[in-house]
Amino acid sequence: MEQVPSFIGSEIYRGSSYGAWHPLRVPRVSTVMDLCRALGWLDRSQYLTSPRARPAALTHWHEPEYISALQRAEVRQAVSDAERDRFGLGTHSNPVYAEVFRRPATAAGGSLLAGELLARGGVVHHPAGGTHHGLPGRANGFCYLNDPVLGMLSLRRAGVRRIAYVDIDAHHPDGVELAFAADPDVLMISVHEERRWPFTGALDARAGGSAVNLPVPAGFNDTEMALVRETLILPLVERFRADAIVLQCGADAVEEDPLSHLALSNNAHWAVVAALRSLAPRYLVLGGGGYNPWSVGRLWSGVWAVLNGLEIPDRLPPTAEVVMRNLRWDGNRRGKSPPEHWFTTLRDTPRDGAIRDDVRARLAVLRHREGLS
Ligand SMILES: [Zn+2]
């Protein structure tokens, strides 16, 4: 029997901010929840409130000293110099903010729950998940905990063995790769912008045989992504015969994102979401990066539509349009006069383009190395 997809969310994300100047000052998950409800897409039977993970559950991967430091930082709303140096807390990228323990622990709790829900199969969308840079004992790259790793370990505890992790965020998932390097039952595929932080994930970096990394040049377009999807991602995942697929669907690879220089439309992400669905009996779709509040809301709401087979309307109904018009993006030029279609549509105009020689060449290297050609 086909199971109905579950959506894991929480009200903790509404109004939570990393601070006035941080890229994560913008609302993201609450926009997706509001938009999907306004569209009549988020039935109460499909919505699950994310539990907050208990510290003991986080130490399945994270170091207990680090978890204690994170809890302490929330209580004190400050860290010592020694704690900053050791744990990466209280920095520009990973500031101490009001919910600095509760919010990431809630996202981690959602991915832990997803692993349990998927024991018997199904589809889960957890847009607050996808914090793929978190390290065992350190905050890293806007991430305090690593919920994808915790979710995959939760799947393992539920008896799920072979996991394909696909990451289409603009950044390389260094934390996830660290966790599962050389694991023969994990396949990690990442497509990310070249020469961008964290500067890992080179074409020849294989994480002990468990990873396939494709760095792509600035301006990466929908046509190029379609070729990557059809000739690399899908054949590899299909051949791997995964028991579960975890997709990190970061929204920072779309053209309007302020932090990266890729040029995808949200159609590219949705096509990956749709194509992976039939390749395993368990499917967890996470969020990830994404720093333009409109493009994040539009992309991840569309992910939910794709997972449910819902038709995306050409024009949003008035109640959904209100959600979009009420968003603010202070401190960014593009937030001053957003284009009208950010308010009135979910779907971007496709961004097709030429397939560049270096993209073809890198794909050929990987296909040859992986025995696909
Ligand atoms: Zn990212």
Q: Which of 250, 252, 248, 179 is nearest to 211 (CA)?
A: 179
Question: Residue 51, class by beta-carbon neighbours within 10 Å (0-12 exposed, 13-18 middle, 19+ buried)?
Answer: middle
Q: How many residues does the chain have?
A: 373
The pLDDT score that the predictor gives to residue 2 is 61
| Mean per-residue pLDDT, 308-319 | 98
Question: Residue 245, class by beta-carbon neighbours within 10 Å (0-12 exposed, 13-18 middle, 19+ buried)?
Answer: buried
pLDDT tops 80 at residue 109? yes
| Mean per-residue pLDDT, 277-301 | 98
What rounded mean pLDDT belongs to the chain? 98
What's the CA-to-centroid distance between 198 and ligand 1, angstroms?
Answer: 10
The pLDDT score that the predictor gives to residue 166 is 99
Respond yes or no: is residue 133 known to be catalytic: yes
Q: How far apart are CA 314 and CA 321, in angstroms?
A: 12
Rg, C-alpha atoms of the chain = 19
What's the CA-to-centroid distance between 296 and ligand 1, angstroms?
Answer: 12
- Chain CA centroid to CA 173, Å: 10
Q: Write down the catalytic residue from 62, 133, 172, 192.
A: 133
The pLDDT score that the predictor gives to residue 70 is 98
Q: Which of 350, 353, 352, 372 is nearest to 363 (CA)?
A: 372
The pLDDT score that the predictor gives to residue 266 is 98
User: Under a CB-based contact definition with an 8 Å cutoff, are residues 243 and 161 in contact?
Assistant: yes
What's the CA-to-centroid distance between 168 and ligand 1, angstroms?
Answer: 9
What's the CA-to-centroid distance between 271 and ligand 1, angstroms?
Answer: 19
Q: Band of the pLDDT at 84, cuts 50, 70, 90?
A: very high
DSSP string, 59-104: TTTS-HHHHHHHHHHHHHT---HHHHHHH--SSSSS---TTTTHHH
Domain residues of the chain, as ranges?
Answer: 6-369
pLDDT tops 70 at residue 143? yes
Q: Measured at the alpha carbon of residue 257, what is the angle toward residues 124 and 51, in degrees to the nearest 5? A: 30
pLDDT tops 60 at residue 1? no
6-369 placed in CATH 3.40.50.2000: no
What's the CA-to-centroid distance between 95 and ligand 1, angstroms?
Answer: 17
pLDDT, one tens digit per residue, over 221-278 is 999 999 999 999 999 999 999 999 999 999 999 999 999 999 999 999 999 999 999 9
Residue 124 structure tokens: 């889960």
Task: For residue 156, give the amino acid letter.
Answer: R
Q: Band of the pLDDT at 3, cuts 50, 70, 90?
A: confident
Q: How far apart are CA 288 and CA 267, in angstroms?
A: 17
